[in-house]
Amino acid sequence: DVKVTQSSRYLVKRTGEKVFLECVQDMDHENMFWYRQDPGLGLRLIYFSYDVKMKEKGDIPEGYSVSREKKERFSLILESASTNQTSMYLCASSFLYRDRGSTEAFFGQGTRLTVV
Amino acid sequence: AQKVTQAQTEISVVEKEDVTLDCVYETRDTTYYLFWYKQPPSGELVFLIRRNSFDEQNEISGRYSWNFQKSTSSFNFTITASQVVDSAVYFCALSDFAQGGSEKLVFGKGTKLTVNP
């Protein structure tokens, strides 16, 4: 079974702190994603990566950065946490078939971040 | 740009009722994929189905069935004889081709289904 693991289930940080959310997948997937989930807004893509060291902005990248130094790990960084970044963060990964697109995305259990 | 609309924010049914969750999408791509995910109270999204745009056959998996109609850009999800364990938020999603040939997913806002005993 595909396993996508997020380092923390719950996190409380102070305004202005630099926050790292870590995600690891164990199925050698090329694609990795960070989504943010807020009530009434569904899932919104923050950043994604289709290869090591490659990253693309999603729909709401402001205030975030990412790092992918190894294929299995994709980190989301909040440079200076703010209260409006209080949310559920979901990591996902998928396998890329070069000739027929990607598989379905597999999700981690989510990190509920509260910025106070 | 890709867009997914799930017009039903919340649905409440009584156990054993059938329920249909609506999904309407917008895309300019000729090849695309549609997905349904379930998010139970535990929070982790569970994949239910992936459907290729060239395959309009309806799909049935146990009590779950999906109706894909390109003419109306809809991909609706029906649960037959609903059970309390079906209570969850259900998301419809559409593929959006990106850099390197990869796909990212564009999600609808979700439909919260509550099945009461």
Q: Hey, are the CB atoms on B102 and A102 less than 8 Å from each other?
A: yes
Least confident stretch, A6-15, A72-81, B54-63, B86-95 = B54-63
Residue B81: pLDDT band by 50, 70, 90 thresholds? very high
Chain A contacts in chain B segment 31-90 (CB below 8 A) = 31, 33, 35, 37, 42-45, 47, 50
Six-digit token string for B51: 């459907």
Q: What is the dihedral of CA A2, A43, A30, A107, to 10 degrees?
A: -10
Mutation site, A44, A49, A50, interface B, largest B CB count within 10 A: A50
Q: Is B103 on the interface with A (CB under 8 A)?
A: yes
Which residues, 6 or more positions from A25, have their beta carbon under 8 angstroms from its beta carbon?
Answer: A2, A3, A4, A5, A32, A72, A74, A93, A106
Q: Is B8 on the interface with A (CB under 8 A)?
A: no
Q: What is the pLDDT of residues A62-92, one digit of tens each?
A: 999 999 999 999 999 999 999 999 999 999 9
Q: What mean pLDDT comes out for the span B66-84?
A: 96
